[in-house]
Amino acid sequence: MPSNLRGKKIAILATDGFEQVELTEPRKVLDQAGATTVVIAPKDGEIKGWKSKEWGDTVRVDKNLNQATPDEFDALLLPGGVMNPDHLRMEPKAVQFVRDFVATGKPVAAICHGPWMLVEAGVVKGKTVTSWPSIRTDLLNAGAKWVDQEVASDGQFITSRKPDDIPAFSRKVIEAIGRGAAQQAA
């Protein structure tokens, strides 16, 4: 993948129970493309991943949600896992961060159960999205058009269904951030 993201800063909003590969794999690709990734969580220290059917590795929290603002980032990544977005959507500051980030018009990428945060923030009405099949009805009830494909891109939103989709998801995310960088340079 191209290394055109030098100088770009990507927020990764997560908490305990994130699906491990849905944070670590896109993060690795973004870092390799030259971006700086910043894990934001409602707590300091570390957050613990979920790996298939058991607890996985921990990831260091780079910034507490209380100190994060959307204007310091060029894109937002919302990993899935069932627990992660379910806990985050109960955190008013996390929901407001997503809502405020969407208002910037910058890329917002969500995979698996991550789009639950978009539902909670009230920002998917009229958008074409995909997700893990179990949250399809939530997205439809929020006014989104749900599709069953490895990646859906609609305006600033990039969504994917599951870990198998990570390569296509990561390519689309890099493309969207790169487009944003080109538009800012013009």
Asked about 60 being catalytic, the answer comes back as no
Residue 34 phi/psi, 5-degree rounding, is 100, -5
Helix 20-32 vs helix 166-185: crossing angle, to nearest 10: 40
Coil, strand or helix: which one is 113?
coil
Coil, strand or helix: which one is 47?
strand
The single residue of 41, 112, 135, 152 carrying the catalytic annotation is: 112
Q: Determine which helix (DSSP H) or strand (DSSP E) holds 116, and give its type and residue range.
A: helix 116-121
Burial class (CB in 10 A: 0-12, 13-18, 19+), 64: middle
Is residue 75 within 8 Å of 180, Cβ to Cβ? yes
Dist. CA 152–CA 79, nearest whole Å:
15
Catalytic residue numbers read 112
